[in-house]
Amino acid sequence: MLLWTDEIIFRPFCFGATVIMAQELSQDSNFFSPSAELIVTGIDLPYDLYINSSALEGREKFVRITRVGNILERDDIQNFMRKYHQLYIKESDRGNYLKSLVKNEHASDEEKTEIIKESAIKYLDNLFNPQKEFSTEVLNETILGCKDAVESMVDVVQSKDIEGLKDLIGKLSFHDFYTYDHSVNVSMYCITIYQTMRPEATRTELMHAGLGGLLHDLGKIKIPTNVINNPGKLSDAQFKMIQKHPSYGKDLLASADCIPPEGVNLSIISRVVNEHHENVDGSGYPNKLEGDDIHLLAKVTAIADFFDAITTKRAYSSALTIDEALALMKKSVGKKIDAHIFSLFTKHMNKTISQKSYLELAEDFDPCQPREKLPVVRSEHLETKKKKEGFGTIIVKK
């Protein structure tokens, strides 16, 4: 029997011994649709599940069919799907969905990571999408959502070594906006690198490492999109504009209305955002900090930023192998990147860099910028030395 009130419809569904009541919801809420296989079963459901009861496109009518605390079995989910084809979760419950996802035995690490990445990109898009109006409230919501995504990342990637993580990243789909993919990748590398340095690191420490990596390019929301997405050579004026993004990000986080979610130390994230382009020799930007004046997590982010930029293949850009990348990065040790962290980074991958690289990056290389191809150049000095010593030609893989 269907019971009507002014706002709520109740309809009983019976699965096994469980009677589930359907409730129509106010249409003010946003929803997303999870894969049925990735809905948690056998334990208390940490989110409500809905269906769209309207057959009219653009006239959604979401109806709750089971609520938080109910226990569903796989047969229940299959019955739902046979009848309704699509299930929905409120956007405000995305964090609970991600937390349950990492415990789901039916999901592979690749599936989990892809969903976590999609969620992180959704949060970043709230800030970076020029068609959306920026506000401090949106920034606060984004930081909270990013924290949820990073906490789920920690659960998935903390058991992986850096090579395993690189392989996993290589299997993920990519977004047209370089900043989104790059930020998510950097976040995952930061978690793994920091755990390599501090095997006994707490979840809170790993969360800060990942959150700093995910938000490291926050200040780019104040840079025109056509500059951020330019895969060609930037003009001097454009590069000076790009160099302001760390300070812009720091200023956004310093706003009196920017309220961090529980457990997040905003001063740590602010330093990572502001210092991830500082070089250990003092030649970086925006403040030419050097050595120990640079926050440890900013140094970690700098290495993750560098490594992902030169090893992750995209549709428009080539990528280096791990061996090529490490040999190239070694040239920046003590200049751009920290020697101790880089040493741990290479040891963790069981890599010994015994040969000099005859490749160098162009002076204007910036890991934050997408490139049609990596700006790899040959050193004239090393090329001459190579010929004298009788070495063959080194080929950069496309």
Tell me, what DSSP letter sits at residue 44? B
Kindly state the tokens that stand for 158.
């903390």
> In angstroms, rounded to a whole number, what is the distance separating the alpha carbons of residues 212 and 190?
8
**pLDDT score, position 14:** 40
> In this structure, how many other beta carbons lie within 10 angstroms of the beta carbon of residue 279?
21
> In angstroms, rounded to a whole number, what is the distance separating the alpha carbons of residues 368 and 182?
8
Look at residue 243 and give its three-state secondary structure.
coil
Instruction: List average pLDDT for each run of 10 residues in the chain, which is 398 residues long.
Output: 31 38 54 91 94 73 92 93 92 93 88 94 92 91 95 92 90 87 96 94 97 97 90 87 96 91 96 97 96 98 95 74 89 94 87 68 78 72 51 40
Look at residue 384 and give its three-state secondary structure.
helix
Kindly state the tokens that stand for 386.
């190579």
The DSSP result for 140-173, as a single string, is HHHHHHHHHHHHHHHHHHTTS-HHHHHHHHHHS-
Cα-to-chain-centroid distance, residue 89: 22
**pLDDT score, position 387:** 52
Check the CA dihedral 20-65-156-108 and report its sign.
positive
Q: What is the architecture of the domain spanning 108-388? A: Orthogonal Bundle (1.10)
> In angstroms, rounded to a whole number, what is the distance separating the alpha carbons of residues 220 and 227?
10
> In this structure, how many other beta carbons lie within 10 angstroms of the beta carbon of residue 65?
22
The answer to whether residues 219 and 249 touch, using CB atoms and an 8 Å cutoff, is yes
What's the maximum distance between 2 C-alpha atoms anywhere in the chain? 90
**pLDDT score, position 152:** 95
The answer to whether residues 190 and 158 touch, using CB atoms and an 8 Å cutoff, is no
Q: H or E segment at 238? A: helix 236-242
The answer to whether residues 9 and 65 touch, using CB atoms and an 8 Å cutoff, is no
**pLDDT score, position 56:** 58
Tell whether omega for the bond before 286 is within 30 degrees of 0, i.e. cis: yes
> In angstroms, rounded to a whole number, what is the distance separating the alpha carbons of residues 355 and 313?
24
Radius of gyration of the chain (CA): 24
Domain boundaries, the chain: 1-94, 108-388
The answer to whether residues 5 and 38 touch, using CB atoms and an 8 Å cutoff, is no
Task: Select from 318, 209, 321 the least CA-distant residue to 269.
Answer: 209
Q: What angle do CA 36, 42, 48 make, to 5 degrees?
A: 55
Whole-prediction pTM: 0.84
What phi-psi label fits residue 265: left (phi over 0), alpha (psi between -120 and 50 degrees) or beta?
Answer: beta
Q: Which residues pair with 24 in a beta bridge?
A: 63
> In angstroms, rounded to a whole number, what is the distance separating the alpha carbons of residues 94 and 61?
19
Task: Give the chain's end-to-end CA distance (angstroms, integer).
Answer: 65
Q: Which residues pair with 90 in a beta bridge?
A: 31
What phi-psi label fits residue 334: left (phi over 0), alpha (psi between -120 and 50 degrees) or beta?
Answer: left
In the chain, the amino acid numbered 347 is K
